Structures are given as structure tokens and as C-alpha cells.
Amino acid sequence: MSMIGELIRSLFKKRATVLYPEERGKVHLPEGFRGKLEYYEDKCIGCSLCFQVCPSFAIEMVPEDKSRFPKNQTGRRPIFNIARCTYCGQCEDICPTKAIHLTNQFEVIALDKRDLMVK
């Protein structure tokens, strides 16, 4: 009997979930939400601190042409593998030039893993 009573009470209550993706704008993201990262190549100095602190090994340092970016002293720059990223935010916190920023974009999908690389 209690199951039928609960069913009847639930029929007249406001729904608790958001119909996604139809109500995409109504999705509430808390302050400090960490989503897909953005990388600003022109700000990067190639210090590799992000590479050193990444707990999921989602960052790889690759050689870069020094003449292309005079700020980059080491001649290396990071490539981010979003498929491995745990969105911990340590790379954003340690970056001295704020070249890495975690956005509030939570829809990170791809049919191929190579499309989940941020260069």
C-alpha cells in the first residue's frame, strides 16, 4: 500500500531533474566548477610546471620552434590529453602566466580520442 501512496504523492510534485539537453540553459553549475580546459599558447613560457604536477599524466611536453614564441624559453610546450584529464585544476593553479584556464564547459565528447587533444 505504501508504494501506491508514494506514487500518488509524486504525481503532483515538481520534477527534481532537468530535461537535458532541451533545458540546457537551466543547468546550474556551482562556483568553482572545473570543466574542459583552455590553453593560451601565446602566454606559455614553457616552464613545464603543469607537466610536473599533473597526477593523471594528461600533459605531455613537446618540442616547439623558439622563434615562433619568443616568451617560451625552453623550446617546449604542453599538449593536453582531455581523455586522461581528471579536471583536478592543479595545472591551472601552478601556471605562473595563467596560460591554462578551466572553463565551465562540461560537454566534452568526441568520436575519436585524437579530437580530445588540446594543443
Report d(CA 62, CA 93) in Å as an integer: 21
Residue 80 lies in a domain: yes
Confidence of residue 88 (pLDDT cuts 50, 70, 90): very high
Residue 106 lies in a domain: yes
pTM over 0.75: no
Tens-place pLDDT, residues 26-59 = 777 888 889 889 999 888 888 899 999 999 999 9
The CATH number that applies at residue 76 is 3.30.70.3270
Report d(CA 54, CA 23) in Å as an integer: 34
Residue 91 lies in a domain: yes
Neighbouring C-beta atoms of residue 63, cutoff 10 Å:
9
Domain count, the chain: 1
Residue 44 lies in a domain: yes
**Domain residue limits at 75:** 30-118
* Average pLDDT score over residue span 8-25: 76
Residue 16 lies in a domain: no
Is the Cβ–Cβ distance between 106 and 40 less than 8 Å? no
Residue 5 lies in a domain: no
